[in-house]
Structure 1
Amino acid sequence: MLNRGLKFFFVLLAVTLVLVVIIISKQSSTKQIHPLLVFDDSTEVVVRINNPHNFFYNVEEQPSCSLFKQFFSDTTELQGIIPASFFEMSSQIFLAYHPSDGFTIVLAFDNEHNSTKWTNNYKKNIAKTFKINEKKEYGNIVYTLTDLKNKTYGLSDCSGLVIVNQSFEGCCRIVRKVASKSVENATNKMISVEKYASINADANIFVNLQSDVETFPYLSDKGISVFDTWIKDQTILVNGLSSGHEPKDYMNVIKNRNSVDSDIEKVVPSIAKSFYHLAVDKPIPLFSEIDKQYNQSFQKSFGVSINELIERIFANEIVKFSLNNEQTVVGLKIKGTSVTEHNLKNMIETASRQMLEATEHKHVFDKETKFSIFQAKWGNITGSAFGRAFSEKDAKYMTIVSEYLYISSDIDALKNLISALVLQQTMSASIDYQPIKMQKASKSNITIYQQQGSKTDMLSFWLSEKLHKSINERLSSFPYKMLWQVSYDMEKPYHNIVIDFGKHKTAAAKSYEWKSRLENSSILKPTIVSLGQSNASGILVQDSSNILYLLNRQGRVLWQKQLDGIILSDINQVVKDNKRQLLFNTSNTLYLTNMDGDDSDRYPISFKSKATTGLALFDYDSNKNYRIAIPHEDRTISMIDIDGNKVDGWNFSTTDAIVTTPAQHFCIGTKDYILLGDTLRVYILDRRGDQRIKPSELYGKAQNSPFFYSSSRSRWFTTTNSGELMSISLDGTVRREKLFDLSQKHFYIYADFTSDGKGNHIFVDKNRLLVTNNQGKQVFTHIFKGEIQDMPTIYRFSAKKRGIGVVDRTDKKVFLFDQNGKQLLGFPTHGITPFTITRYENENNFHLLVGHIDGFIYDIKIE
């Protein structure tokens, strides 16, 4: 029995093995063709989408995919005849262009069953809008799809692939090629480089420069280039390798040259719509020899040949950019400012001796900042030495800024450039450039940048007319910014392309006197101080990195100083040792600096207990015998003199709770009153810190409400923590009145805003501005988009004209209300910080000084 069972088992096993062999053989005989084999070596471009489901999800959800969404929804083109839901059924999508077959879409499936099922479902879906006919081709059915406008497409299901072509004839040609291929041995150039493509990328792009080397006429090599494409929020990243075979033009120039970690964005102004940059250590000229007659003429005029001049000063980087869409500038990185300036002065002198038009004149930015502009008929130096892409024909002007020699045919272009660089208005500082900057490669040999709206189209220098037109037609309707980098210090050129579709964040005033860049966005209300030079005005401001800056009237940064925290107080200008000084505090430190930003003797002073608010500066008798009052975390109030010494006789002990607004001094009649308040009670003191008035009721004040004294009503006004209006008379009588429901974080101001001599109560709470008369009757109200985080400011423009300034950080706007609740001319305008309105010395116009999200301080003239 055992032997019989074993025999039966082995017979069954043998039969099973035979069946397995048959099944495997059958599967082998129907082995799927590799999708890239559909495209022969004449195909110019193939785009492979690796995960259709994820890709079309991104098309719907990601801002960067608006371009793709328009592309796939265009029903007048081939891709538009297939709904997204049908695209998503495939495992991969291939979109290709062939000079003979035109545009083709190939959908790859896991097996022939799925591709056939897809074809049948698709035919049913389009049956009402397309007329469908069929024809046999190499054993495969090719369908003719004719739409209502009599436009014809071809469709076939072949070896697990669905092939769709823009013409029936094109589809037949492709099917014949596929059906006639030997699957086991077939290959093409795209398959040979497929190993460089990441299957994890959203898409791969295969570009064939073998058949059309003119595709990139100034930046090309022959063979298949492979690029991976990644979709990230508002940005599309494209990176990969081109072949490196027979590099042409600038590609040949950078071959085997070290790529450079360049800070080119720091020397290109932010108003540039486009720029391109070349880093190369190859001797010039880069291409053909410089025209002999031009070079001889140049040497005769200036005493040095173009080759010699470049060799003396050039530090291996050159950039060209456009300003204001019309003006162009070429910049050469130089070996040294003094060496370059010496050469230019000698050249000007040589030309002048020959009675040629050549001169050096000064461009004055401000009294302390001047630049030499060298004027002569320089000609197209850069184009002769570095090729057409860097031409600046009829160049007449040169200047040196930031280790670069800038050359232009337009003197205003150089003046605008100087102003931009002095005020750090560069691409590197532009908030709109940051998404590009974050994704750029650390090193490159060539960098090309362009954004929507550029009239001087830099890409036209680098792309063939056909390709350039195709790209621009697609991009022109989108707010895009594009950076293309090429590095060639390896065997193959590496390309990194960043396309950002994010909307511009910079929406500052259209017209302004100047804007000056800080390291980070400003957080402090600009403070006007006197520089002591014929009463010239300076502007103090702090950024989010706690750096304090002093700017002059023209916006140039005179100095910057790193502090240990946010400035809590006003910045007070005091006189010590007969010199102007700046006094202010952070939570940990009291600072006293001179007007150059240097600390005074004994300063800075560290607090033993942290300050809870800003210092108060008292000059009781206007004799500069200053007293400085500082509330601390331990609830003490320190009183010191300007030398940092404790004031003898200050008797105040501690408050009942933390003080959140600075102490205030009032001189009423012949008496001094120092007022402090916490959330539990109010303290009315004399100079020694002893109680001068005892309030009739012990109520604390709101954390953001100072004290305001009304001389006509002989009482102080503030608000309580519960939002009541509270007044305290000189005899200590306390009155409370509820006008509105207010949160604990509201702001309060009492001022004669309507100029009726009676005073107004002004409240800001969350997103509301409320203005009442002296009886509490509402004058006007305003609702903001966001919650207000900063104390409003009252501005006085004349005896009768006032304004309330409010910043809405959420809306990124600043508002200025007149006495009727209307916006003054030019408001609201863009800004994110408390602002200052001032008149500079010897000027009649008012100026608005405000920080914006782009990190700049703006000076805007108010008409």
Structure 2
Amino acid sequence: MRFFLCSLLFFTLLSCNNYKNKRHTLIDYVPSNSDVVFKSVNLESLKNDIQNNTLFNAFSDTEIYTVLKTKLEPISTFNSNGEILLCLSRSKNDSIDYTLITKNSKALFETDSLKNYIEEQIKYKSHNIVKSQLGDNTFFSTVVDSTFIVSSSKNIITNSYNSTENSTDFKKLYDVSGNNESLSILLRTNNALAPSFFIEDALKLSRLTDFLTLDTEISQNDIFVNGIAKSLDSSKNVIDIFKNTVAQENQMQHITPGNSDGFLSFTFNNFKTLQNNILEYRVRDSISENETLFNSITEVGLIYEGEKRAVVLNSVDVIATQDALLGEQNKIETYRNIDVLEFSLTHIFSKTFAPLITNVEVSKYCILDNYFVFANSLEQLQNIIASYQNLTTLSKRSYFSELNEKLSSESSLIFVAKPELIKAIINNNLENKQNINIESYNLSAIQFIYDSNFAHVHGGLIKGKTKRIQNSISESFNIKLDTDILNTPQFVTNYSNNQKEIVVQDVKNTLYLISNKGKVVWKKQLNGPVVGEISQIDMYKNGRLQLAFATPNRVYVLDRKGRDVAPFPLKFKDNITQPLSVFDYDKNKKYRLLVTQGKNVLMYDARGKIVSGFTFKSAEGTIISQPKHFRIGTKDYLVIKTKNKLHILDRIGKTRVSPKTKNTFSNEPVFLYQNKFTTTSIEGKLVSIDTRGNVSSVNLNLGTSHNLETTSKTRVTLHDNKLGIKSRVLELDYGNYTRPNIFYINDKIYVTTTDLQSKKVYLYDSQGKLRPNFPVYGNSPIVLDDLDNDKNLEFITKGDSNTIILYKIN
């Protein structure tokens, strides 16, 4: 169905040839000499994807990476929130020119904070061009019809005022590219910037197709692509060899040894059709030798093993294929009860299938069920036989299954490569060979499925997951932010899939939303640090959640895309001194937002209006912990704590409970523990107040420096190096421990603390037993939850000063 819909869309676009000179979309401003166009709808997400992807980091020392990074440095200063196009083209002196195109906005290019920046105005006819100098980089910019264009080439800018007719095919590829991808690539293949996906020179991209568009999905460890390949009507390309054929299900993975370097496979439903297409491509009349060998074949493959090559024919009529080999029956040996036979037509595969198979010579073969395997090396044949019989083929590798989930089961042409082959392909794409470390990448694949006059493209490059042992802890990803982290990362709910995402703020007060796959969804500059934790509300009662929180002078409500929800943010002259308290008394989404300023409180509704009926305005002293809401039976209690008094109020702010004795309280929060309002005194005593105002005090010998956390029935304390869980006290190694946290997940209690001195995270069960494989590395308190609803728990913590780490407990 996916292929049918994509095909329908593509053919609709093919039929639309009435392009007018008036420019409506960004693609209309692309320079006519562009070789590559990168399209992104989220520049910040793309920057972070590239920064955190291990493959891109592996390229960081290469010459081309350094040259492009230096050349494109000015682009890192742009703040686009919408779609951008980045075009690369070759200039007359064979250097690379870039052009960036996006919708103009005031905040797009702010120069006030840039060092070593100089600009001047240039007049061109009736237009204004800005010439900019940033360090050693000179670039030019202008605005045309509310479209901002910046380029390293002045000529490109001057030409941008003219409405030129770009390639119709380029526009069509743009139209079928994804609208929600952080990166789509549109490529003319007849240029030096076009990469090669195959090891064979005959299959390099410029010979394979004319145009290619790829939507990418980049995570820390993996890269996946989906797209379209298209040939010009006047050209002859390798991909068009599959015209009028139907792709078949690939079986090569079931015969390729797991210890090989990879395989190439192509399929067809009719050999005669494929043969005629090959002859037309090669401008020849016929193919000599034993053509009957291929009449019952639907798949032909190459197995790579170092410099060795083996050819595999997948037959749908084994007897007919055996009959075609009656003249090739001289036995060389028997290996594992499989006869190895001589083969005299040593170059038949290159002669028949070039350019798909070239320069391959074979001299022997064997038959394994429906597979006919030909090779020059006896050792390679023996390895294939042993692997097939031992069930150690590539199809049995977990990383193949993982990558195969992203691919189609049928393909006209597919190439699968393991690390050594991947490295060779990378070096073929570089002018100078580089020692790039990609050993951790288990597998890559690229496949083409031919449709009518174009081909679908799918591919990926993965590290692959290691086999998980029960209770083992694996690092899912680590993400590097632009600068040091300010606060503890926390989880929030993505209402569209009911999974969890990560919010975190850096020291420049930039707030990040990061998916549970490690992709930066958005970044937002705030006016100050977030006070406490971020809450979520359903402001419109439609299931769509917003983020609600306070900074020292603002109360924010942000939507799913990081945009302010009117009338927020609310602005305050006096500092907000406690985290924003969000109350939903009856669970009916009639939210109350309580703002604390010193000893004063203000209550707002979800629309940002003061709740006039709330009568409590000020405490007797400074409020020293976040105001809380509890429900006991049918009654609501709002608890506001100062150093010398616990105000226990009803919904409208009137006193509901008056404690009968006074205490001097610590700064620890107030909890509802065993149906009593519970906190600690400054001396470390446990103080509990019931609904009648009766006060009880228990000396826990905590001392003045301590922490308290509770659920309704579980009490956890920490002082010095002693961690108390219920009645059990654990003596920890001396260190600098964060306040303990309690998590109640899937009917289980978990207790955590982190030693910031040794950078170790500890996780205990409700009985005070340390969980298996803990402690692990971490540099902050953790947040624990089931992010993706797979029953395995994940937790997030800080790593280095600007890094967050997501761990999975298997």
TM-score in terms of structure 2 length: 0.47
Structure number with greater Rg is 1
- Considering Cα pairs closer than 8 Å and 6+ residues apart, tell me whether 1 or 2 has the greater RCO: 2
